[in-house]
Structure 1
Amino acid sequence: MTDSATLETPTETNRTPTRPDRTRLLLEGPVLPTLLRLSAPTIALMTFQAVVNAAEGYFIGFLGSDALAGISFSFPLVMLMTTLSAGAYGGGVASAVARALGAGRRDEAARLAGTALAIGTLLGVAFTVVMLIFGRAIFASLGATGPVLDAAVQYSDVLFLGAVPFWVFQSASSCLRGSGNTSYPAFVGAIGGVVTLAVSPALIFGIGPLPGLGLAGAACAVAGYNLVSAALLLRALRSPGTPFRDAFAHFRPDRIRTAAILRIAVPSAFNTIQSNLTFLALTALVAPFGTAAIAGYGMGGRLEFLLIPVVFGVGSALVPLIGANVGAGNHARVRQATRAGLLFGAGTGAAVGLTAAVVPGVWMGLFTNDPAVLATGASYLRTVGPAYIGFGSGLALFFATQGSGRVIQGLAAAFTRLTVAAVGGYLAVHTFGCGLDTLFWVMALGLVLHGCVMVVVARRELGITRR
């Protein structure tokens, strides 16, 4: 087990630091109430966004099974960008900012914010270029053909045109979360979600003299939401009382701050990529079973991807809470916060997964009434749903390691899941000739092992069993 004394501590020049009120709450407030207070706005937002995503799937369901299958292929790549920007890169930004503020270095936090915004802009450009040029080839390599392939490209081309404001929005949000401000990003997201719900059906189906845009309309609604949200959060960084008012004077990928962010973000990105590769690989394994199977698995598996943002609500509180206390050298609070985060993650995974397993038709019925699609999705949820407790536990603990700046060993959890689910799934389907039910059992095993490995990592890196 790593000795807690080896965790990052303040330098001699920061023994009597000045800290904003929100940072003092991270360092001095009761751990569990503080975790609840910080996570509640983001959990509420992510739950609401799950409703927005479900509503989008509901609207698209009227366009037919080809459209549903198309977004099933594009959805993992959309979630890849989301989890990379908010969970991996955003976690690196929030952790670095929190540790700087915990050590009383406000100017450093502003410089980190400027660097974060600059890098986020560059990453948004990269996503737009890659998806516009290679999107069709990527979807085709996953098994999409004909109208399904066309639907996937139509949706993703429009959505990824808005990648830059999306990355800027997530970068600014992560800076605010790192300072302990989780409420304003959640407020902006909730307002944007309401507008998206109102605008999306009009853009998809048309209204009055305006023609419907189909899948492109759904993507336009999301891209517009990202643009407005980015503008509002950039304005918030300049508001009085924040430590980020000088961030725009440092809008460049500064070498030192880039390293501080990326040493956490890059390993976290590998973790995220492995999770998304698992979903993509399993989608490819399901593809030979037909369009109905792809649509059913895609809609059922979408619940797992929507669980990520819900647990992210806990993670958005864990990263600054743990990061600030690591920066201040309060190692006992680091352990307390990690244990609390584990309970939250496990409880969320269990609640979502077991509910879906007991009443799978409630979730699947939001998207389709096709009997074949419903049957596949229900089979997935009954088998894999109970294993979400492992996924929720592992994900919460990974956020805890982000806050501490120790994320390398956490990669083993995602790699374990990828190996078991993808390799085991391939052998089950192509070597032993098993059907979808067996493939779903292999997926469940991967999720359980994911949680078990992260518990071992947290014991070694954060000492969660120490008193």
Structure 2
Amino acid sequence: MSRPDLLQDNIRVTLFKMTVPMMMGIVSLMLFNLADLYFVSRLGTDALAALGFTFPVCFTVISLAIGLGIGMSATLARLLGAGESDEASSLASDNLLAIAIMVALLSIVLQFLIDPVFTLMGAAENLMPVIRSYMQIWLIGSVFLVVNMVCNACMRASGDTKTPALLMAGSSLMNLCLDPLLIFGYGSIPGFGIEGAAAASIIAWSVTTLIALHILYHKKKLLVVQSLDKQRVWGHFRSVMKIGLPAALSNMMTPIAQAVLTYLVARHGPEAVAAFGVGNRIESLSLLVCLALSMTLPPFISQNFGAGNIERVKEAYKQVAGFALVWQMLVFGLLMVVADRIADIFSNIDAVKVLIVLWVFIVPCGFAFQALTFLTASSFNALHQPMRAMRISIMRLFVFSLPLALIGSQLYGLQGMFIGLVVANALVALTAWGTMQRFFKTL
């Protein structure tokens, strides 16, 4: 598929062309994480537990990368839409340099905080050497991870989602090949255990980062060699962080809320926790299409916003919202049909199967509203309204989801909790939609 013209081509066709590659890229990232989990699990319980403890810290860095990518994409796309290609190239160059330096400094600081942070998280003493050996290497590679993700955001800002998807897939494939080699060794090549898993990730990120930088410089012309002007660099960095920082904080709230929900579920027994864990995996797959759409919609909106095509922005949001509601209800219907089969796949314990089926028949009913909510938040980021997007995220997690889940759990047990989550998603979706409509009237 050729790269679409975000300012002229048919809205529906354009978003379709951009979203399909992103879906493939997201799937490849899921496989990246599953590969690490699978091969590390072969090292034993301690290694797997250590990897589990590293998730919150790693996710914090990834959330920062996602936020920076959102800020970069929104700012860059608006400049490109306004025809300011030289300023766009200057901004992208300054920010990639500033981001690399910032993450390198953050990595150094976190190296000294490994022991106190993971001790505070409750890691047992026998796990600390394993955690330390993994994180020391992972943090070094985090510079490549973050720069890689921001480079991909730069490409999406130009309307190219195919190249970032290919880079994501290439990174996952490289990691899949390197994991067993570096973890277990082969022939004369020694195995490095969990350190090998971290090293495999670093190599995959670094190679794809170099390729991405090459593409941005030689093909996209979004990187330029320019004099180092502190005032210019700081101005460009601030413009991206105005959107990127709230977006990063919004992403960081999700695991916090998820931890609280897991705590509420745990009060109903280990079978409920197992079923809820299965539900979380089903949720990520069920929302895959709309998640990909939430990554391709912002460049479209930002470019048209920068070009002054406000009616085109409104129409795109309307079409995407309608699609999300219809698509996710179809997914809900399909899940209900195959609920028993899903339960059989994920568990052989009858008590867990019953709760998985209960989850399938209730929670996915709210996925349509959930999709509308995060699509609205990503649209606000694209319209350079990051605080509105952040308020929607706070509202979803802490004003509606957690309180209604707690009330439902207290009144009607686990079933009541699941119903509370659906009601919360519906209420926040209506609020988000209304907020967007009011904002459109000001444009």
TM-score w.r.t. the length of structure 1 is 0.78
Shift of 1:236: 0.8
Question: Quick check: 1:238 aligned with 2:191?
Answer: no
The answer to whether residue 28 in structure 2 is matched with residue 53 in structure 1 is no
Match of 1:313 among 279, 292, 295: 292
Q: What's the secondary structure of 2:6's corresponding residue?
A: helix
After superposition, where does 1:71-220 map in structure 2 within 5 Å?
A: 71-86=51-66, 88-129=67-108, 131-142=110-121, 144-145=123-124, 155-220=134-199
> Taking structure 1 as reference, are residues 106 and 336 closer, same or farther at Cα in structure 2, changes over 3 Å only?
same
Say whether the 8 Å CA contact 2:407–2:420 is kept in structure 1.
no
Could you tell me whether the CA contact under 8 Å between 1:394 and 1:454 is conserved in 2? Answer: yes
In structure 1, the residue corresponding to 2:32 is in which secondary structure? Answer: helix
Q: Distance in 2 between matches of 1:301 and 1:32?
A: 30
Does residue 453 (structure 1) correspond to residue 435 (structure 2)? The answer is no
Deviation at 1:94, TM superposition (A): 0.9
TM-superposed CA distance for 1:104, in Å, is 0.9
5+ residue gaps, structure 2: none
What SS is found at the alignment partner of 1:94?
Answer: helix
Matches of 1:173 and 1:401, distance apart in 2: 20
Q: Quick one: distance in 1 between partners of 2:270 and 2:60? A: 23
Name the structure 2 match of 1:38. 18
Q: Does the C-alpha gap of structure 1 residues 202 and 312 become closer, same or farther in structure 2, counting only changes over 3 Å?
A: same
SS of the residue 2:89 aligns to: helix
Letter in 2 for 1:49: L
Q: Deviations over 1:352-404 (max 9, x none)?
A: 666667448759968x9899998887776665444333322212222212221
Structure 2 contact 261–402 (Cα < 8 Å) conserved:
yes
When structure 1 is superposed on structure 2, of 201-210 and 109-118 the one drifting more is 201-210
Which residue does 1:27 correspond to in 2? 7
The verdict on how the C-alpha distance between 1:66 and 1:125 changes in structure 2, with shifts beyond 3 A counting, is: same
Deviations, residues 397-431 of structure 1 (Å, cap 9, x unaligned):
222122211232222322123224445666788xx
Following superposition, the deviation at residue 318 of structure 1 comes to 1.2
Aligned residues: percent identity?
25
1:391 equivalent to 2:370? Answer yes
TM-score of the superposed pair, with normalisation by structure 2: 0.81
Change (3 A) 1:424 1:63: farther
Whether the aligned pair in 1 keeps the contact of 2:107 and 2:142 (CA below 8 Å) is: yes
Q: 1:302 and 1:131, CA in 2 relative to 1: closer, same or farther beyond 3 A? A: farther
**The residue matched to 2:16 in structure 1 has which SS?**
helix
Instruction: Show the counterpart of 1:412.
Output: 391
Q: Does 1:401 pair with 2:389?
A: no
State whether residues 275 and 418 of structure 1, in contact with CA within 8 Å, keep that contact through their aligned partners in structure 2.
yes
Contact kept in structure 2, 1:112 and 1:247, CA below 8 Å: no
Displacement of 1:48: 2.7
Further displaced range: 260-269 or 119-128: 119-128
- Within the candidate set 297, 305, 309, 1:326 is matched to 305
Equivalences, count: 439
Structure 2: distance between partners of 1:433 and 1:148: 40
**Aligned-pair CA distance for 1:110:** 0.9
Cα gap change, 1:62 to 1:127, in 2 (>3 Å)? same
How many Å separate the matches in 2 of 1:307 and 1:136? 37
Per the alignment, in what secondary structure is the counterpart of residue 162 of structure 1? helix
Residue aligning to 1:256: 235
